[in-house]
Chains A and B, each alone.
Chain A
Amino acid sequence: MSQTKRSRTIILTIIGIIIAVYILFPFYLVVLNSFKKQTDIVASPIAWLGASFSQFVSNVSSVVGNSNFNFWTALGSSTCITVVSLILLALFGSMAAWVISRNNKKAWATVIYMIFIASMIIPFQVVMLPLISTFRDVGNFIGIPMLKSIPGAIFAYCGFGGAMTVFILTGFIKGVPYDLEEAAAIDGCSPEGTFFKVILPLLTPVITTVTILNGMWIWNDYLLPSLMLGNNSKYKTLPVAVQAFVGSYVKQWDLILTAALLAILPMIIIFLIAQKQIMEGMVEGAVKG
């Protein structure tokens, strides 16, 4: 019995390894070929022939300094947009969710909550065209550029991420006992004080979940930044920069794959650090959303 069990484990592990090889193989190709020259890649994309560290350094330096890619600027824009949007979404989202769940017997709160939930089925495609014209008009009107500007993109992400954030947070806050707040109120704590000192610290686990979900989406999003920031502007995010770079270097695989490697590296590093949280957060978000 234990003999068959052990051989079963071995067979399953071998199947697992084969699938893992298939899944990780493209990553291997990206890394390998960013160490090679274009001619060596064309000669054989899977051979080690011609791979050298000095070639990698030269590929990286020509990609990083490229005017279509601008790696450091793109990394900066992506980081800035993602981090600020995530902070604002977590803060505004939990504020709104708290108000909604503490007034859940009142009609206006129910209506707001229902609108948020219903809006989750709205695809970006149906709002993207009027969004651009609205943002352009509003920007011209108030004298603050909303297109081709980082604050404009952050504003849009707060709007688009709001519904899902409020939905998940409201579900959690409903489970926080109201007694806690009453006790704080009796001790003379103001409503805003209660929220920031009592409720917000309790929300840490669920805020982690929404931050991971929103972060994965905002960091990798292509359509919104390409439309709002423009493919040629200096505020491109990383996915837009990769697209612009590929468009200008068709079939230059040594440079394209190096650019791809640079673009995926930050996310891989974050995943290696917070692997458990990311995987749990993604599942929780899906199950609740």
Chain B
Amino acid sequence: MKTKAQGNSALSFILLIAGIVLLVAALAMDVMGTKFAGRGAMLIFGIIAFFAGLYLIPTMKHHRKIVYFIFLFPLLFTFAVTVIIPLVLGIGYSFTDWTGVKITKFVGLANYMSMFKDPAFIYSILITFVFVIINMVLINVIGFCLALLCTSSIKASGFFRAAYFLPNLIGGIVLGYIWQFVFNNVLIGMTNHISLLSQSKTALLCIVVVYLWQYGGYIMLIYITGLTQVPGDVLEAANIDGATPMQTLFQIKIPMIASTITICTFLTLTSAFKQFDVNMALTNGAGSVPNFMGAYLSNGTQMLALNIYNTAIAKNSYAVGQAKAVLFFIILAVVSLIQVRISNSKEVEL
């Protein structure tokens, strides 16, 4: 028993030392600019050896804490590197003349000022809000109606649920191209050989239709779950009291699924707001607007997320793109806070 503990502590000690040596050596090479190809592997083996050593430290008292640390580390590390650090850097970069590679000076609010003077960006914000509101209402109403249909006395309701949900399985890029084909080649016969995608206004409607098609089935599934949780005896009681189907719907079902409605509203709101893939694949933001704030615009269907992407990647102005992204984040955060407020107050009422 004693020898085993000693063996463990020796092994733990060796691993800890080896891990630290490898880590320090690899980092030293990085700092000094040595282009030794194995330095990445050294770093990884160093980390692994360090953790193995840490794990084998022969202590009963602190073992639990060490395990907690080792268990938390992988996710916290990846999370910090991919979310927290870029978020902090990104907010900082939005106040500089960042080019994606280097920063030469601090420019204060100049990026923010320039984006609000850009009619194309203001236009993107406006159509994004219009799109979000139309979508939120339509998807919820249609999703709810589909859910009522699927929970009614309909035959083969399992098939219908799966069929309506099917478009949600497919990513927006592929969907966008499929619908581009539908609008440009199939429906064109019904629209006097002018593609619906060629006019800004109808193209926006097309995006709404495609988005509805993609998302309606998903929202329907959530409403179905809500509706099936309405207790059967309540509905039965209403039936015995002679309530019409309409009364049952508006005075029993809808009030009883208020929390589901909040969830779906929020879900459609944020996802429509972040909409990018369908927008890119279907129109790529193209479309002419003859006169908006005294300017001619060529981004008639470009929503906010796509505008940010195009500003940074296509036009290569990273700092302005980043400033727009920060504004995007603020809007989303405000919307989320409002939603949390509303759902909390609803819960108190119930």
Q: A27-B166, A29-B186, A267-B169 are in contact. Are A123 and B63 (CB under 8 A)?
A: no
Kindly name the residue among B36, B101, B222 whose own CB sees the greatest number of chain A CB atoms within 10 A.
B222
B59 at the interface (CB under 8 A from A): no
* CA–CA, A275 and B270, complex, Å: 26
User: Which residues of A1-52 have CB atoms within 8 Å of chain B's CB atoms?
Assistant: 5, 8-9, 12-13, 15-16, 19-20, 23-24, 26-27, 29-30, 33, 41-42, 45-46
* Pair B171/A131 contact, Cβ less than 8 Å: no
Q: How many residues of B contact A (CB 8 A)?
A: 98
* CA–CA, A131 and B336, complex, Å: 23
* Pair B149/A159 contact, Cβ less than 8 Å: no
Q: A23-B213, A129-B318, A133-B100 are in contact. Are A159 and B89 (CB under 8 A)?
A: no
Nearest-neighbor residue (CB-CB) of B312 within chain A = A129
Contacts of B329 in A (CB 8 A): 122-123, 125-126
A286 at the interface (CB under 8 A from B): yes
* CA–CA, A191 and B66, complex, Å: 10
A155-191 to B contact mask, C-beta < 8 Å, 1/0: 1101110110010000000000000000000000011
Contacts of A13 in B (CB 8 A): 154-156
Nearest-neighbor residue (CB-CB) of B81 within chain A = A159
* Pair A279/B165 contact, Cβ less than 8 Å: yes
Contacts of A132 in B (CB 8 A): 100
Q: Quote the shortest CB–CB distance from B99 to chain A (angstroms).
A: 10
A116-136 to B contact mask, C-beta < 8 Å, 1/0: 100101111111111111100
* Pair B166/A23 contact, Cβ less than 8 Å: yes
User: Which residues of B297-350 have CB atoms within 8 Å of chain A's CB atoms?
Assistant: 305, 308-309, 312-313, 318, 321-322, 325-326, 328-329, 332-333, 336
* Pair B170/A133 contact, Cβ less than 8 Å: no
Q: A133-B101, A222-B277 are in contact. Are A103 and B68 (CB under 8 A)?
A: yes
Q: A222-B277, A263-B174, A282-B218 are in contact. Are A96 and B72 (CB under 8 A)?
A: yes
Total A-B contacts with CB atoms under 8 angstroms apart? 266
Kindly name the residue among B171, B178, B224, B325 whose own CB sees the greatest number of chain A CB atoms within 10 A.
B171
Q: Quote the shortest CB–CB distance from A176 to chain B (angstroms).
A: 16
Residues of A that sit less than 8 Å from B by CB: 5, 8-9, 12-13, 15-16, 19-20, 23-24, 26-27, 29-30, 33, 41-42, 45-46, 88, 92-93, 95-96, 98-100, 103, 112, 115-116, 119, 121-134, 138, 141-144, 155-156, 158-160, 162-163, 166, 190-192, 195, 216, 219-223, 227, 239, 242-243, 246, 253, 256-257, 260, 263-264, 267-268, 271, 275, 278-279, 282-283, 286-287
- Interface residues of A: mostly helix, strand, loop or mixed? helix
Nearest-neighbor residue (CB-CB) of B219 within chain A = A286
Q: Quote the shortest CB–CB distance from A59 to chain B (angstroms).
A: 14
- Interface residues of B: mostly helix, strand, loop or mixed? helix
Nearest-neighbor residue (CB-CB) of A268 within chain B = B169
Residues of B that sit less than 8 Å from A by CB: 26, 29-30, 35-40, 43-44, 63-64, 67-68, 71-72, 74-76, 78-87, 89-90, 93, 100-101, 146, 149-150, 152-157, 159-174, 177-179, 181-182, 185-186, 213, 217-218, 221-222, 224-225, 260, 263, 267, 270, 274, 276-277, 280-281, 305, 308-309, 312-313, 318, 321-322, 325-326, 328-329, 332-333, 336
Nearest-neighbor residue (CB-CB) of A21 within chain B = B163
Contacts of B308 in A (CB 8 A): 125
* Pair A125/B79 contact, Cβ less than 8 Å: no
Nearest-neighbor residue (CB-CB) of B335 within chain A = A121
Nearest-neighbor residue (CB-CB) of A97 within chain B = B75
* Pair A138/B186 contact, Cβ less than 8 Å: no
* Pair B167/A286 contact, Cβ less than 8 Å: no
Kindly name the residue among A9, A119, A159, A223 whose own CB sees the greatest number of chain B CB atoms within 10 A.
A159
Contacts of A12 in B (CB 8 A): 149, 152-154
Contacts of A100 in B (CB 8 A): 72
Contacts of B35 in A (CB 8 A): 143
* Pair B170/A267 contact, Cβ less than 8 Å: yes
* Pair B171/A222 contact, Cβ less than 8 Å: yes
Contacts of A246 in B (CB 8 A): 177, 281
Closest 10 CB pairs of A and B: A159-B82, A220-B171, A144-B40, A130-B86, A95-B71, A159-B78, A143-B40, A127-B86, A126-B329, A130-B89
* Pair A162/B39 contact, Cβ less than 8 Å: no
20 inter-chain pairs at a CB distance below 8 angstroms, sorted by A residue, are A46-B186, A96-B72, A96-B75, A96-B76, A119-B83, A127-B87, A132-B100, A133-B101, A142-B26, A143-B38, A144-B40, A155-B81, A156-B78, A220-B169, A222-B173, A222-B280, A242-B174, A271-B162, A286-B218, A287-B222
* CA–CA, A122 and B331, complex, Å: 11
* CA–CA, A24 and B164, complex, Å: 8
* CA–CA, A66 and B182, complex, Å: 24
Nearest-neighbor residue (CB-CB) of B171 within chain A = A220
* CA–CA, A142 and B81, complex, Å: 14
